[in-house]
């Protein structure tokens, strides 16, 4: 499937700009394709990459293989629980008392919300709230999955549980916290899931990354097996063992210890996920800005558009000019806060008031810029759904 400038221009001709959209044909294909990639493993939706309640419901309704949500904060998890969602894993530690209390109250109601931990300080704080409210609070242990090569730290600085000794010490300490209940294990292999290995024009770098990833995978599989076996010496049962991400589904699904894979970016497929060997999803999410000036031939100045992604700064975090094909940024201006000039010398006739379509570098961050997403199907706008921002929520 491919899209043309005229297809989107016609579909959105009456729409006020700027706007963000979801191409439902692409989105639904990606939802289906993720399950093919995951085979028999459950898939937990990473909410930070969606940030729209309606679209998360759409994914969950597609198949029972989609089960649960990985949230990025505990207030988000509580909000989603109050909206009727369940099986909510908070991917990052929660330390503020009021946030833990809010989770505990949902647990008392019978909801499943798991708080992430990797330090005694986390356990102490959670246990104290559990003791006050007389409830055992479910937790997930976050296992570090980074690889240390000579002169290179390959991964992300996330969990402190980066050795067998530290994991064992953590597990032994659980007996000190009777109001904390270990029910899940998570290990996010960011160096596989989030690092592209087929970037255009980077042949040597791609070769190095592929080599490092293959070596790291061997280490990851062995480490996870060792740790899960150790965990089962300390607990009766686990609700889940979570791993993976969009870029590592094929690897993670084959681990016998894994019960579920976390996936988020695959559904929108932002530009950072164009650069992988093992899969190809469709660009389901995008946004449009308006041409408001034409200062000289082949130069078109658009209003706004500088939606730069988080992370290490570089060209890959900039939005990508999508349609019409052949548009280019000016290196000394790029995508700006209030204006984005582009150079275009192609077959499309561009005029003031026309849209230029872009894709964001990352997935859910685009939703922090818009109150709603337009849903497009068969060349027509069929609905518009609220983003977290449109729901009045800002969790980070």
DSSP code string of 140-208: EEEE---EEETTEEES-S--S--SHHHHHHHHHHGGG-TTEEEEEEEE--HHHHSS-S--TT-HHHHHH
Chosen CATH of 285-386 out of 2.40.37.20, 3.30.565.10, 3.90.190.10, 3.40.190.10: 2.40.37.20
Tell me which of 200 and 284 has the higher pLDDT: 284
* Residue 275 banded pLDDT, cuts 50, 70, 90: confident
For 323-378, the DSSP string reads ESTT-EE-TTT-S-SSEEEEE--SSS---TT-EEEEE-SSSGGGGGG-SEEEEEET
- DSSP character at residue 92: S
pLDDT computed for residue 381 by the predictor: 98
- Annotation: CATH topology of 24-264: TIM Barrel (3.20.20)
- The answer, yes or no, to whether residue 193 has pLDDT greater than 90, is no
Pair type for strands 137-143 and 113-117: parallel
> Quick one: angle between helices 164-173 and 203-231, nearest 10?
40
Q: CA 141 from chain center: how many Å?
A: 20
pLDDT, tens only, 211-257: 777 778 888 888 999 999 999 999 999 999 999 899 899 989 999 99
Residue 194 has pLDDT above 90, yes or no: no
pLDDT averaged over every residue in the chain: 94
Tokens at 9, concatenated:
């221009």
Q: Give me the residue spans of the domains in the chain.
A: 24-264, 285-386
**Backbone torsions φ then ψ of 215, nearest 5 degrees:** -65, -40
Distance between CA atoms of residues 121 and 289, nearest Å: 46
Q: Can you tell me the distance from the alpha carbon of 224 to that of 80, in angstroms, rounded to the nearest whole number?
A: 30
> Are 24-264 and 285-386 the same fold in CATH?
no
Rounded Cα–Cα distance for residues 204 and 208 (Å): 6
Going by the DSSP 8-state scheme, the letter that residue 270 receives in this structure is: -
Instruction: Give the max Cα distance, the chain.
Output: 72
Query: Is the Cβ–Cβ distance between 65 and 37 less than 8 Å?
Result: no
Is the pLDDT confidence value at 199 over 80? no
Q: What percent of the chain has pLDDT over 70?
A: 100
Q: Name every residue whose Cβ is closer than 8 Å to that of residue 301 and which is 6 or more positions away in sequence.
A: 291, 292, 293, 294, 295, 339, 340, 341, 342
Query: What secondary structure does DSSP assign to 40-85, as a single string?
Result: TSEEEEEGGGT--HHHHHHHHHH-TTEEEEEESSHHHHHHHHHTT-
Residue tagged 């409210």 (tokens): 133
pLDDT tens for residues 112-157? 999 999 999 999 999 999 999 999 999 999 999 888 888 888 888 9
């Amino acid at each position: 499937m491919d899209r043309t400038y005229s297809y989107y221009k016609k579909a959105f001709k009456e729409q006020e700009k700027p706007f963000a959209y979801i191409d439902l044909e692409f989105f639904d294909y990606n939802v289906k394709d993720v399950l093919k990639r995951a085979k028999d493993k459950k898939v937990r939706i990473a909410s930070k990459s969606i940030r729209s309640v309606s679209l998360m419901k759409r994914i969950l309704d597609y198949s029972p293989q989609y089960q649960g949500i990985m949230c990025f904060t505990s207030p988000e998890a509580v909000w989603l629980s109050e909206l009727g969602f369940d099986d909510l894993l908070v991917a990052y530690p929660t330390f503020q008392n009021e946030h833990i209390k809010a989770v505990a109250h949902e647990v008392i109601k019978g909801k499943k919300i798991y708080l992430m931990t990797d330090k005694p300080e986390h356990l102490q704080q959670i246990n104290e709230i559990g003791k006050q409210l007389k409830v055992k609070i479910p937790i997930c242990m976050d296992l570090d999955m980074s690889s240390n090569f000579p002169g290179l730290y390959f991964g992300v600085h996330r969990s402190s549980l980066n050795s067998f000794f530290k994991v064992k010490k953590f597990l032994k300490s659980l007996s000190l916290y009777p109001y904390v209940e270990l029910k899940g294990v998570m290990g996010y292999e960011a160096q596989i899931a989030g690092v592209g290995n087929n970037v255009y024009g980077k042949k040597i770098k791609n070769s190095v990354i592929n080599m490092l990833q293959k070596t790291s995978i061997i280490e990851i599989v062995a480490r996870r097996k060792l740790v899960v076996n150790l965990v089962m010496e300390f607990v009766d049962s686990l609700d889940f063992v979570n791993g993976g991400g969009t870029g590592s589904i094929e690897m993670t699904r084959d681990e016998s210890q894994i019960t579920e894979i976390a996936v988020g970016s695959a559904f929108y497929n932002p530009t950072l996920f164009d650069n992988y060997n093992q899969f190809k999803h469709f660009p389901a999410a995008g946004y449009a800005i308006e041409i408001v000036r034409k200062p000289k031939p082949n130069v078109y100045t658009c209003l706004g558009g500088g939606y730069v992604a988080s992370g290490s700064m570089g060209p890959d975090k900039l939005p990508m000019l999508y349609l019409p094909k052949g548009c280019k940024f000016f290196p000394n201006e790029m995508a700006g806060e209030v204006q984005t000039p582009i150079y275009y010398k192609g077959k499309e006739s561009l005029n003031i008031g026309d849209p230029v379509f872009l894709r964001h570098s990352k997935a859910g961050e685009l939703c922090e810029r818009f109150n709603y997403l337009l849903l497009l199907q068969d060349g027509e706008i069929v609905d518009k759904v609220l983003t977290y921002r449109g729901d009045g929520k800002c969790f980070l």
